[in-house]
Amino acid sequence: MTEPKIALNDLAKAFGDKVVLDGVTLAVEPGESMAIIGGSGTGKSVMLKCILGLIQPDGGTIRIDGEDTTHLRGRARREVQAKFGMLFQGGALFDSLPIWRNVTFGLTRGRAMDSGRMRRLAEENLERVGLGADVLDLRPSELSGGMQKRVSLARAIAPRPQIIFFDEPTTGLDPIMADVINDLIRSLVEGLGVTAVTITHDMTSARKIAHRVAMLYQGRIIWHGPCDRLYDSRNPYVDQFVQGRADGPIQ
Amino acid sequence: MSGFATSPPVRLLARIGALAIGLLAALGRVAMFAGRTIISIFAPPYYPARYLEQMAQIGWFSLPVVGLTAIFTGAALAQQIYTGGSRFNAQSTVPAIVVFGMVRELGPVLVGLMVAGRVASAMAAEIGTMRVTEQLDAMTTLRTDPFQYLIAPRLVAAMISLPLMVMIANAIGLFGGYLLSVEKLGFNAANYLNVTRQYLEWDDIVTSEVKAGVFGFFIALMGCYHGYHTRGGAAGVGRATTDAVVSAFILILFSNLLLTVLAFG
């Protein structure tokens, strides 16, 4: 039996009195694309940030390739982070740097080195997300929202991570651009053979990019299953959510 | 029992206690932030380009405003001492008191306040915006420590730039006093410069520079600390900017008092 790529066990996190994660247990297999769905404020982002090491969980464990990474710090933490790529919701591009430095930031770790090679690498990765060399020297603020998201995607894949996280990849985009991004994510996941975890509340996107879906509600995973079972899950919470009804068990 | 716990004197004590605990907690957070920054100065990788960039931002681009402040203040100081001194025939003390006032107090304090207004706010706004747009998180996931890349360069650059700027501001301030005294008040130029040199003491210059270094530390620390801990969108960035400037001002003025009492008391 192979080790899951990511294994969360009883993950808990509270901010003050507010319990955000209340025992999340979840496994993501290598090469799998998993979508986490759930309403706003159900702890999707917090869960992702715990895995990334940006937030320390209060309890439970996080295993990456079988290695317990829950409380890693310093160099050991950075070694695990080398396996991760992350597409942030707003793109989170560094607005003080030109596009090509943004794309190669994960390789140079912010140092000014090997400019020629880095520009070529930036160009290569931008090509993968459908952008030309003409954007290399622009600043992030000169690009549209959809283009920023693509550059951010190029930045996430440039260090060739094994696991990529997508935080609401289609939020704020028009339906056509959203579909372009969905296609890109799917082809990148297949083309690069990475494991993907996407948090979203866009059902079209979830169905398009994920093999498996898990639903987070009140800090717990209340349902998970293959993507094609999403619309006959026989779970009243999932039903209400995927059909977008105001009345139901979720208030 | 509940009557006792909610009676006004107890509530007042509870409020004072909560305030004291809050203050100590904030102090602890700032100290830990400073400690983490200082450690990250020495840990690789190093970013020399970021240090130079910050030196330019903090030092070079602040020079015009600092120079103007110094020359106007030096001249105004000379006029006040002349007018005030003439009441008991002490006009001749102008050069001596301009030297004391400028080098010991006004030079470092004015430079500190001007740079705090210009730089602490900019740092808090930039780092705060990076926080709310998740750029700091993005940096961490790209295996770059914001303390090494953003914060340490600002702290070191401020601690180097401020003493240099205070040196320049002191010279310009003395020149402002000289200009007004010689051109308007009719002092003898050679005599004025002679007295100035006579009263310009090494210890005062050292104190001035130490103050500048301390102020630079506080300016960058407050700018980065409030930026780093920004919460809540554009309004949060606005709050962080205000907090950075106000706390930097208070720390500069308070530490100036301590250093003055320590050095001259």
Rounded mean pLDDT for each run of 10 residues along chain A, 251 residues in total: 87 92 93 90 90 93 93 88 92 94 92 88 91 94 91 93 93 86 88 91 90 92 90 88 86 77
Residue whose tokens read 């464990």: A61
Q: Is residue B242 part of a domain?
A: yes
Rounded Cα–Cα distance for residues A241 and A243 (Å): 5
Q: From B140, which residue of chain A is nearest by alpha-carbon distance?
A: A54
Residue B163: name the closest of B211, B222, B123 by CA.
B211
Q: If pLDDT is split at 50, 70 and 90, which confidence band does B2 have?
A: low
Distance, in angstroms, between A74 CA and closest chain B CA?
A: 9
In a domain, B29, yes or no: no
Contact in structure between A163 and A85 (CB atoms under 8 Å): yes
Residue with tokens 């990474």: A69
Q: Look at residue B16 and tell me whether its pLDDT is greater than 70.
A: yes
How far lies B151's CA from each of B43, B99, B155, in Å?
Answer: 13, 35, 6
* Omega prior to B45 cis, within 30 of 0: yes
| Cβ atoms B215, B120 nearer than 8 A | no
Residue B214 has pLDDT above 90, yes or no: yes
Pick B143's closest partner by Cβ from A49, A82, A112: A82
Q: What are the DSSP calls for B71-114, one per residue?
A: HHHHHHHHHHHHHHHGGGT-GGGHHHHHHIIIIIIIHHHHHHHH
Residue B1: Cβ within 10 Å count: 5
**Domain-embedded: residue B9:** no
Query: Across the A/B interface, how many CB contacts are shorter than 8 Å?
Result: 59
* Share above pLDDT 70 across residues of chain B, in percent, rounded to a whole number: 98
Residue B194 included in any domain: yes
How many domains are contained in chain B?
A: 1
d(CA A71, CA A78): 12
Asked if residue B98 belongs to a domain, the reply is yes
CA distance B145 to chain A (A): 9
To 5 degrees, how large is the angle CA B27–CA A77–CA A110?
80
Residue numbers in B near A155 (CB within 8 A): 142
Q: Spell out the residues 6+ positions from residue B193 whose beta carbon is closer than 8 angstroms to its own.
A: B95, B178
CB pair distance less than 8 Å for B134 and A88? yes
pLDDT of amino acid A234: 87
Interface residue B139 vs chain A (CB under 8 A): yes
Residue B42 inside a domain? The answer is no
Show the tokens assigned to B39: 């450690």
Q: If you average pLDDT over every residue of chain B, what do you get?
A: 94
User: What's the mean pLDDT in B77-102?
Assistant: 91
Distance CA B188, CA B221 (A): 45
> Using CB atoms, which residue from B47, B135, B138 is nearest to A86?
B138
Structure tokens at A29: 């297999």
| Domain assignment present for B49 | no
| pLDDT of B160 over the 90 cut | yes
Structure tokens at B40: 């990250």
B239 domain-assigned: yes
Using the Cα atoms of residue A110, residue A111, residue A115 and residue A120 in order, give the sign of their dihedral. Answer: negative
pLDDT band at B58 (very low <50, low <70, confident <90, very high): very high
Domain residues for the domain of B62 are 55-264
Rounded to a whole number, what is the distance in Å from the CA of B136 to chain A's nearest CA?
A: 8
Position A230 scores a pLDDT of: 87
ipTM of predicted complex: 0.91
Residue B225 clears pLDDT 90, i.e. is over it: yes
